[in-house]
């Protein structure tokens, strides 16, 4: 069995040296462009030193190119699940192993029963009366 070296020891590459220092030559063109396009201003400080500051238009453009990341949602929302409490097919979240809608979750936090939406268009009595009327009209 060959280990990749004459001594019979396994080959171990040298660790890659990481440097936090970026060579100046790598970003000189970028800095020259910032200066030539007047995207940075030199700000003189009271102690005699200075600092560089991006112009407002450059800062706005950077904000547009790289907007602040949104906060992650606390939980996934499910559109095709039935609420374990009210048995309505609504937007639900998985909480403690069961799918529960926002209304029921709020009701549980308050310790009350949720207000249920009717899944019918009309009350049951009206629905039955309408069905009976249609049956009578369809008979000769």
86 and 111 both lie in a single domain: yes
Q: How many folded domains does the chain comprise?
A: 2
Same domain? 91 vs 128? yes
8, part of any domain: no
Please indicate, yes or no, if residue 20 is contained in any of the structural domains: no
pLDDT band of 33, cuts 50, 70, 90: very high
Please tell me whether residues 53 and 81 are part of one structural domain.
Answer: no
pTM: 0.36
C-alpha 119/C-alpha 116 separation (Å) is 9
Same domain, residue pair 61 and 94: no
Residue 98 near residue 84 (C-beta atoms within 8 A): yes
For 74-98, write each residue's pLDDT tens digit. Answer: 667 888 888 888 888 888 888 888 8
- Provide the phi-psi class of 38: left if phi over 0, else alpha when psi is between -120 and 50, else beta: left
Confidence grade of residue 118 (pLDDT, cut at 50, 70, 90): very low
pLDDT of residue 1: 45
Give CA–CA dist 30/54, Å, rounded.
13
Domain that holds residue 52: 25-65
Contact status, residue 68 vs residue 57, Cβ threshold 8 Å: no
Is 17 inside any structural domain? Answer: no
In a domain, 37, yes or no: yes
- For the cut 50, the answer to whether the pLDDT of residue 18 exceeds it is yes
* 22: confidence class by pLDDT, cuts 50, 70, 90: confident
Q: Which residue has the higher pLDDT, 116 or 21?
A: 21
Can you tell me the distance from the alpha carbon of 38 to that of 32, in angstroms, rounded to the nearest whole number? 10
Whether residue 82 is found in the same domain as residue 127: yes
Q: In Å, how far are 11, 60, 65, 77, 110 from 69, measured between CA atoms?
A: 43, 16, 12, 20, 33
């Amino acid at each position: 069995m060959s280990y990749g070296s004459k001594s019979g020891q396994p080959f171990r590459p040298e660790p890659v040296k990481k440097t936090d220092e970026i060579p100046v030559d790598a970003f000189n063109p970028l800095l020259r462009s910032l200066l030539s396009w007047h995207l940075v201003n030199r700000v003189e400080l009271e102690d005699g030193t200075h600092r560089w500051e991006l112009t407002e238009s450059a800062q706005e453009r950077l904000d547009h190119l790289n907007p602040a990341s949104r906060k992650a949602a606390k939980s996934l929302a499910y559109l095709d699940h039935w609420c374990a409490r009210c048995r309505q097919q609504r937007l639900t979240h998985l909480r403690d192993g069961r799918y529960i809608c926002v209304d029921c979750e709020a009701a549980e936090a308050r310790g009350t029963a949720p207000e249920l939406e009717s899944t019918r268009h009309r009350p049951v009595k009206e629905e039955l009366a309408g069905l009976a009327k249609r049956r009578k009209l369809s008979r000769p």
